[in-house]
């Protein structure tokens, strides 16, 4: 007999075979219940003393939570059962027993603290709440790729091992590579530009590593970024692409993850959109007595902006040059411009993305590298890549864990990463 997923069994009647994990059991003496779960849902298995064969009835009282079992039985209507159906079992076979007790509580009422859950992530991934987060993250990533590949973007894969810093700065992990020292990529920046300058529009989801020592609820040392880069584009064009793709992603989550959103108690709305210049954002902060620097927003400012514009994807553009990396185009392509073609996007109280138009003119790039006190030698092949027919281009990057965090109002980003890497955690 072929396995039926629990969700699909609700469409059927008659005999079924289901496989899954023991969620819980209840013994009411004459009647014993097993709630069985698989990735699609849950179903009640009901054993009745005197009716169910004695061996199976006995086993119903001896199942450990999360053990893997196979059930063959009669699928019947049952108004009181969750989902309106139950299975009267003919046989129950234990395929893989789980130890009892488990290291953490996987029930719906679990109050286990996050660090202990992460220490036991293999067990934690059995819990419905955890699964809901990653089912939604799966929709986020796949609809992101779907949105852009449907528009003809090339799904490309930049390298993770790099020979020198891609952004400047020092927050890089060093590694041994045969006789050489190499670094783990802190961003796919330079590679996606090379791809855009030849294959026009590219999209990727790729891991990046940041050796930042700080320990915050919004940073990981390894995260994955959803990136695009577009040829013949400026910052306005790519902000509009973010607007449309984020709306699409949220729409898909609302459509495909209804139950998961209910489990997490999240009421999602398709975001509105607001465009502000950095100067406008700064004067809003001044009005609200929130101090920010002249070239960057603070976490507090990001939060305030989302209070002022709730359920809104907020773009802050015309960002001062001083607050953006060397490869961001100065306004009007003027090397000494105060403002840049760079922007940040803020959603539900936090930065979810940075982006902008890039410098595609080698001489201008050299000037900007020098102004940032970076060594031209380290960037030779990067600068040269713009000598072979490089059109103006622009792009952005959204962290998928950060996006999941804000979308689902999760307080700590670690909960939105399946196997987080932070200063202290590399296992599991």
Name the 3-class secondary structure at 59: helix
Q: Which does 398 bind (CB under 5 to 8 A by kind): Mg ion, ligand ATP, none?
A: ligand ATP
Q: How open is the CA angle 9-15-16, to the nearest 5 degrees? A: 45
128 binds ligand ATP (CB under 6 A): no
Residue 36, Ramachandran bin (φ over 0: left; ψ between -120 and 50: alpha; else beta): beta
341 binds ligand ATP (CB under 6 A): no
187 binds Mg ion (CB under 5 A): no
354 binds ligand ATP (CB under 6 A): yes
Q: Which of 220, 167, 193, 163 is nearest to 396 (CA)?
A: 193
Q: Which is nearer to Mg ion, 44 or 354 (CB)?
A: 354
Q: Which is nearer to ligand ATP, 392 or 399 (CB)?
A: 399
414 binds ligand ATP (CB under 6 A): no
Q: Which does 36 bind (CB under 5 to 8 A by kind): ligand ATP, Mg ion, none?
A: none
Whether 412 and 420 have beta carbons less than 8 Å apart is answered as no
Q: How near is the Cβ of 27 to ligand ATP at its closest, in Å?
A: 46
* Contact residue for ligand ATP among 250, 253, 352, 359 (CB under 6 A): 352
225 binds ligand ATP (CB under 6 A): yes
**89 token code pair:** 């079992």
225 binds Mg ion (CB under 5 A): no
Position of minimal CB gap to ligand ATP: 399
Q: Which does 219 bind (CB under 5 to 8 A by kind): Mg ion, ligand ATP, none?
A: ligand ATP
Q: Which is nearer to ligand ATP, 158 or 399 (CB)?
A: 399
**377 token code pair:** 């030698």
Contacts 24+ apart (CB under 8 A), 194-198: 194/385, 195/154, 195/156, 195/158, 195/229, 196/229, 196/230, 196/231, 196/393, 196/395, 197/231, 197/360, 197/385, 197/386, 197/388, 197/389, 197/390, 197/391, 197/393
Strand order in the sheet with 161-162: 161-162, 180-184, 174-177
Which one of the spans 126-134, 149-157, 266-274, 347-355 is the region binding ligand ATP (CB under 6 A)? Answer: 347-355
Q: Which is nearer to ligand ATP, 219 or 236 (CB)?
A: 219
* Contact residue for ligand ATP among 38, 66, 318, 351 (CB under 6 A): 351
Number of chain positions touching ligand ATP (CB under 6 A): 16
In angstroms, rounded to a whole number, what is the distance separating the alpha carbons of residues 103 and 121? 10
Return the residue matching tokens 């009267």.
Answer: 88
354 binds Mg ion (CB under 5 A): yes
Number of chain positions touching Mg ion (CB under 5 A): 1
Q: How near is the Cβ of 379 to Mg ion at its closest, in Å?
A: 20
Q: Which is nearer to ligand ATP, 229 or 401 (CB)?
A: 401
C-alpha 205: how far from chain center? 10
Q: How near is the Cβ of 247 to ligand ATP at its closest, in Å?
A: 18
Which one of the spans 233-241, 283-291, 321-329, 354-362 is the region binding Mg ion (CB under 5 A)? Answer: 354-362
Return the residue matching tokens 């970076």.
Answer: 374
In angstroms, rounded to a whole number, what is the distance separating the alpha carbons of residues 393 and 386? 11
Q: Which does 151 bind (CB under 5 to 8 A by kind): Mg ion, ligand ATP, none?
A: none
Q: How near is the Cβ of 404 to ligand ATP at its closest, in Å?
A: 10
Q: Which of 351, 428, 27, 372 is nearest to 169 (CA)?
A: 372
186 binds Mg ion (CB under 5 A): no
Q: Which is nearer to Mg ion, 139 or 353 (CB)?
A: 353
Q: Which of residues 202-221 bind ligand ATP (CB under 6 A)?
A: 210, 218-220
For residue 284, the surrounding DSSP H or E stretch is helix 278-287
A 10 A CB-CB count for 317 gives 22
Return the residue matching tokens 């001896």.
Answer: 62
**147 token code pair:** 């949105």
Binding mask 386-405 vs ligand ATP (x if CB under 6 A, - otherwise)?
Answer: -----------xxx-xx---
Whether 75 and 118 have beta carbons less than 8 Å apart is answered as no
Q: Which is nearer to ligand ATP, 44 or 405 (CB)?
A: 405
**Which residues make up the interface to Mg ion (CB under 5 A)?**
354
**Which residues make up the interface to ligand ATP (CB under 6 A)?**
210, 218-220, 223, 225, 351-354, 397-399, 401-402, 413
């Amino acid at each position: 007999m072929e396995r039926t997923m629990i969700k699909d069994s609700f469409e059927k009647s008659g005999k079924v075979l289901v496989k899954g994990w023991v969620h819980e059991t209840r013994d009411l003496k004459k009647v014993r219940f097993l709630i069985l779960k698989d990735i699609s849902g849950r179903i009640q298995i009901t054993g009745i003393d005197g009716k169910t064969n004695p061996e199976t009835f006995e086993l119903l009282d001896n199942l450990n939570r999360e053990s893997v079992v196979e059930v063959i039985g009669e699928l019947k209507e049952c108004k009181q059962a969750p989902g309106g159906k139950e299975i009267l079992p003919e046989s129950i076979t234990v395929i893989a027993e789980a130890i009892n007790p488990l290291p953490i509580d996987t029930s719906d009422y679990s109050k286990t603290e996050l660090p202990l859950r992460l220490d036991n992530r293999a067990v934690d991934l059995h819990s419905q709440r955890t699964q809901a987060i990653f089912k939604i993250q799966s929709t986020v990533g796949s609809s992101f790729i779907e949105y852009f590949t449907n528009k003809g973007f090339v799904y490309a894969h930049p390298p993770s091992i790099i020979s020198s810093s891609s952004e400047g700065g020092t927050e890089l992990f060093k590694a041994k590579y045969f006789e050489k020292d190499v670094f783990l990529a802190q961003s796919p920046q330079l590679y996606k530009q090379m791809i855009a300058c030849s294959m026009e529009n590219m999209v990727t989801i790729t891991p990046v590593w940041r050796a930042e020592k700080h320990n915050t609820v919004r940073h990981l040392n390894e995260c994955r970024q959803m990136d695009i880069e577009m040829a013949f584009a400026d910052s306005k064009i790519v902000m509009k692409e973010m607007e449309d793709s984020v709306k699409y992603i949220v729409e898909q989550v609302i459509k495909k993850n209804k139950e998961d959103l209910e489990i997490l108690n999240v009421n999602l709305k398709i975001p509105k959109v607001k465009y502000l210049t950095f100067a406008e954002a700064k004067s809003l902060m001044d009005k609200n007595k929130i101090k920010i620097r002249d070239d960057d927003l603070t976490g507090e400012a990001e939060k305030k902006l989302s209070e002022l514009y709730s359920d809104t994807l907020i773009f802050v553009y015309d960002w001062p040059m001083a607050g953006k990396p060397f490869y961001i185009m100065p306004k009007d392509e003027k090397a000494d411009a105060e403002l840049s073609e760079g922007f940040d996007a803020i959603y539900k109280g936090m930065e979810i993305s940075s982006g902008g138009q890039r410098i595609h003119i080698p001489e201008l790039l050299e000037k900007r590298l020098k102004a940032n006190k970076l060594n031209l030698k380290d960037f030779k092949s990067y600068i040269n890549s713009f000598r072979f027919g490089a059109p103006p281009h622009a792009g952005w990057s959204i962290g998928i864990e950060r996006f999941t965090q804000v979308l689902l109002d999760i307080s700590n980003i670690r909960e939105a990463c399946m196997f987080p890497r932070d200063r202290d955690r590399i296992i599991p």
